[in-house]
Structure formats: C-alpha cells, structure tokens
Structure 1
C-alpha cells in the first residue's frame, strides 16, 4: 500500500498491518466479556494505528469523548480527535477533504450531495449513518421554576418574539399554580450553522400550526427584539445559565440544572427522555432524498399524538464516503464506526450523554453497510 497523507488522517502502510494479530492467553492480558465483545465488533483483531480526525455537531461531543476513549482503549496505537465546530462546519471540512467523516444533526442538502461525489473516490458519494439519538431540550432560566408545560404554538411565538414576557396568558394558561414573573424573555439561539437548529425549527414548522413562519434550517433567524446568538451548544447553555429570564434549545444531555419544557403531544405534556426519543424514530420513514439504499437519512415525523414519543428529537449522523481513495483511511474509518454502532459503543454514549441506544436491527444494518465501503 502506498503512503497516505491528509490533514484528517496521517498514516503509513507500515503503520497499518492488515494481518490478524496472533493473540493467546500467554501474551495478552485477560479481558472481561464486554471488552472482548467490543473488540470483536470493532475489528480489533486487525492491528490499526494512526491519527483519525473528524469534525461536526457539538451535540455529539460528550458521546464522541466516550467513543474516542473506548475505541482507543481497544486500539492503543490509534488517536481519534473530534472538533465540535457544529454540523455545518463539519460538513464543510468533510467536503473539503480535511476530515474523512463528519458528525451532523442535519442532512446533506442537494448541492452538498453533489459536492460529496467529487470529494469521495468514485461516483457513489456520501451517506448518512445514524449514530446518536437524543432529545433536544427547550431550556430556560427562571428562578424557582424547574419545568414548564408548553405547546408548539407557544414555543414558536416565544422564539419569534411574539410572546415577550413570562407571565403571558399563553404560558400561564398551560401552567396553573406556577408563579410566573412579569420579566422579559431573552431568546438564546445558535448563531453558527447548526443541525440542532435545523431539528428545532423543523419541529416548530411541523407542529406549530403555522405559528412558525420559517422553513427548517441550520441558520436560525428570529424576529425577537430581545435575543442573543451563541456559537455552539456549550455557549447556548452558558448564555441561558448566566441570563435571568432566558430561554434556548440544546441537546438534552447538556441541560444540567436548567429548567426544561415538557412538550404538548396530543392531550398530554411529555418531558424529554431517551426512551421517548427512540419512540419517535421508530415511527419515522427514511428521507426520499436519500442517496440510495445505504443512506440511512431519516425524515422525522414530529406530528405524532402518541404521548410515549418526544417529537423534538434529533438523529445525529456520521457522514462517510461510500468509497475512499486509500485502504488505510477506509480501514480506520470503518473500524471506528463499527465500534460506535456496536452495543458497547452505544452503551458508552448512553452513559456519557444520556442518548438513546440504536435499535439492534439498525446497528446491524449500519455494520453491513460499513462492510460494503470500498477503497479505490
């Protein structure tokens, strides 16, 4: 194999041996069942080494930290890095060839699919592999109030600046017995290109009965006069935390001690949970814009009236090429992704980030797709 160098991956043929490791009880430490299973799933029978770098959705940051640690513990000669620049930034780096895969809470647009054909080796282009299912929380900072019940129309009117004070009748009528102040509401939104914004605005567009006048987009905009933009999930959470009367949206794993909203679904109010997030995915079809049968891009149906489902849920993907131009890069990417999709990888993310593990059949499907990824 030829030597390969790229800003996203730095490898040599000598650093990647594709021969099976000759392991035995005499020369290998004992491993518990979970580690042994993870080793088999992530192809640790193949010796890997090198530097694998990716970029993308900040919602995945906590999960990615767990995935990196788990994979590196099984592959001591591999270093995995992740830059949580946001979904838009990750896609830009991927399409520019700077990283071999991107994390994204949103789907590729038509022009980005086309650009991926040029970026990836061959004509197959790129596909989405679901790796992280998580509710998005509507978070707020209101002294003495830990939770609120709100329907989609009210949330839309708050974030578009039509409802400006906390004691507005639309809020008060859904929260009898809650003492609401007359103070102003400060809307905090993602100022960067964000898949979390795309999921949030998609929820508002689908469920608010026309109260949200914009299309779903990674680029959040609002008519609220009292609003603050923040770059990345951490910045949104920090801004809401430091601003009395603020409201925002973020991956639920980052909500911390902030107040959170239970969404109206049918006739009931549903708080976020991993289980409720998984239920909305199970009822959603794949997108009709997907790039072939191996592109697992979901079109989430948020209009359910099933109170066991939480409609403001994101599926975060790893966007990968269907063919890479070098075997070394393909081997690192597919081995890492198999670990991420494995039962062990999903359990690690659930513990670190409170995400919903992928259903077993989805994990198996992802693994079979990864087996088909080729090298030029």
Structure 2
C-alpha cells in the first residue's frame, strides 16, 4: 500500500503518479509497480514480472518514493522491498532470494567471494544511491539539545560514562541542566549498515575511546538492543535517559533531541548538506572493480561544513540475470533511482542528499550495462 507520507511528501509529478498506482503489497514488505521511465514520461514501458528485493531499513522511505514514482509507467511490474537490514539484505542477495539489495555499507571484503558467486562469477554491481545523516538522538526530560564530541559519545556507548550529569558531558554543555540520571544507550540488534557507519565514526574520530573497527554487528556488550531503525527509535522514545542512532528520515517526525557533534572547533547539527559534504571529503575505496563505486569515508574532517556521522547507501545488483524480464526491471529501476527525478523524490520523502552529478552519471553508466545472460 502507499503510505500517507508518500502521498503528502513526494515531489510534484511523482506524487501524482504514486496516488494512481495499484500496489501489490502492504506492511514492511511494501511493493510498487515499476517502470523504466527515468524521465518521468507517462508512456508504458512494456515491462512485466515481479522482482523481490530488500535490505537497508534506512532506505525504506526512499524506496517507497522510488517504487511509487518508477511505477507510473508500468502496471505489470511489481517490485517488493523488505527493509530487513543491510546485513540480511546482502545475505538474501547472495542466496538469490533478493534480485537486488540495499545496503548502508559497502560489501565487506570477506563477503566479496559470495557476491561474485551470486552473480555467476562476474563482478557485482555496487553503486551509491542514497546519502543521509545519522542522527544521534536522545530522550532526557528537560534537555532539548546537546553538544558532544566523538570521544564522549564513544564512552557513552561503551558504558564508561553512565550518568547524564557526568563531568565529560557537563563540560561540553555548560548551559544545560543535566539530571543525575542513568544513561541507557540503544543500539541495533540486527546486522545494520547504520551501525557500521556509526561505529566507523566512533573508531575514526573517538581518539581511541572506541576500540573496535567499524562493524555491521554491534561489537560491544553494552546497552539495549532493538531490531531495525524503527525499533531503535521506538526504544528511545519509550525509555527514560535513552540515547541511540538512526537515519535522519526515521527521526524527523519525532520530538527527540538531536546531538550536534564536534567538527574541528565547532559543533555541527545533522543535515543532508553536511552529509553530502562528508562524501565530497572522502575517496573511492582501493581495489574496487569497474562495476563498483564504493567509498572509504573520511570521518575526521575539521571542516565545519561536514557532518561526519552519515551513511552512503548502495544499490547492489548483478551485471547479468538469467532472464531478460528481470534484467530489464533491475536495470530500469536502478537507473531511475540515480536519475535526477529519483534523487529528488528521495530527498523529499527521506530527507536525503541528492547524489553529486558526477557520481550519479558514473552510477547510471554502470547500471546501463545490466543485461540478460
């Protein structure tokens, strides 16, 4: 079904197309009819069939917008997207259960052999489609905003800092009235790209307070675990003295406080522009195949235009598929996602930053090569 947020939030043209659709699924496994019209024309594309996909829960609102806008031209195609988390999404892609996956972190090196096998021995396609800040959010009565550095956040989440009036927090928030209240950190229980990016920031910028490198699975024994982005946000809302992390789109409609993080000598609030600046300050990962645009994120910039706690979310697919119908749907949908129209739809519905033009162009060229075996 189309959610109310899609009807209300999509950009003009995409919204009209979305309302007209007859969708094939409901619940977390939403589905939308899909087409290959990246320019938003109303002509039928002639595609047909059903394609199952899933993964990143941070992509969920963007996927709603993409599938709704993409479906305007072809009522005979159904794409389902199950927001089961990045790790499970990748695993389901490797097994063949998903024809493409969304992942908030690049395919781990130890998984690349499985990804290649899933694509019949060919290099897997992996292109960025979604840039979003990760909000560090909290629920502390009487406190609306906080300034924190990465070291302090790391010590909160590793359990070293246990009270909200701890001197390390108080020193950074002289004007706040901090209660003598236990801190309850909340993290993802499932394998999550959001966790991977959050722990990457803690490790890179935490001054040694965070001992483990980035990981999609929560690496320390501390705090409360909750499943999925919605689970984390719900646990923070329902708790007292809670703090956690979630994609910006999942937090926008809440009244939770947001942390501004220290960058250089300033404290920077989460924003799509700040996340985009963070990508611009990063480089492509070494050793990537020609079919991959995977980034090694720089979390230690001192430029206050950068918000360093962000994710780059990927579209993972194969360069060839067993049948032409599937190949054409995956190719067309991917190209719509990275198109100007697709990126505007995601920015409106999911508060993401549009891909830089050169990145979108490179991604489109890679996706255009998808074909039947």
When normalised by structure 1's length, the TM-score is 0.87
Which of 229, 233, 250 lines up with 1:233 in the alignment? Answer: 229
Measured on the aligned residues, the alpha-carbon RMSD in Å equals 1.9
Give CA deviations for 1:85-125 in whole Å, capped at 9, x if unaligned: 0001101100000111011011212232111222113x323
Give the 3-state SS of the residue equivalent to 1:262 in structure 2: strand
Offset at 1:39? 3.1
Give CA deviations for 1:39-62 in whole Å, capped at 9, x if unaligned: 354796631122122010101011
Distance in 2, Cα, partners of 1:184 & 1:260: 18
Bigger Cα displacement from structure 2, 84-93 vs 41-50:
41-50
**1:225-374 correspondence runs (5 A):** 227-255=223-251, 256-290=254-288, 292-374=289-371
- 1:178 matched to 2:191: no
Contact kept, 8 Å, 1:120 with 1:325, in 2: the verdict is: no
Give the 3-state SS of the residue equivalent to 2:232 in structure 1: helix
Distance in 2, Cα, partners of 1:42 & 1:366: 19
Distance in 2, Cα, partners of 1:245 & 1:74: 48
Distance in 2, Cα, partners of 1:331 & 1:314: 28
**1:213-224 correspondence runs (5 A):** 213-224=211-222
Distance in 2, Cα, partners of 1:240 & 1:309: 26
Distance in 2, Cα, partners of 1:92 & 1:33: 31
Contact kept, 8 Å, 2:201 with 2:309, in 1: the verdict is: yes
Distance in 2, Cα, partners of 1:32 & 1:180: 47
**1:19-168 correspondence runs (5 A):** 39-41=37-39, 46-121=45-120, 123-168=121-166
Give CA deviations for 1:272-291 in whole Å, capped at 9, x if unaligned: 0000100010121111142x
Cα distance change of structure 1 residues 35 and 341 upon mapping to structure 2, 3 Å threshold: farther
Offset at 1:356? 0.3
Offset at 1:373? 2.1
Contact kept, 8 Å, 2:236 with 2:242, in 1: the verdict is: yes
Distance in 2, Cα, partners of 1:42 & 1:32: 8
For structure 2, list consecutive stretches of 5 or more residues without a partner in the other structure.
Answer: 1-11, 18-35
Aligned partner of 1:6 in structure 2 is none
When normalised by structure 2's length, the TM-score is 0.88
Distance in 1, Cα, partners of 2:52 & 2:285: 28
Contact kept, 8 Å, 1:152 with 1:204, in 2: the verdict is: yes
Offset at 1:374? 2.8
Contact kept, 8 Å, 2:69 with 2:342, in 1: the verdict is: yes
Contact kept, 8 Å, 2:115 with 2:124, in 1: the verdict is: yes
Aligned partner of 2:204 in structure 1 is 206
Distance in 1, Cα, partners of 2:250 & 2:60: 10
Offset at 1:329? 1.1
Offset at 1:34? 11
How many residue pairs match? The answer is 341
Give the 3-state SS of the residue equivalent to 1:58 in structure 2: coil
Give the 3-state SS of the residue equivalent to 2:284 in structure 1: coil
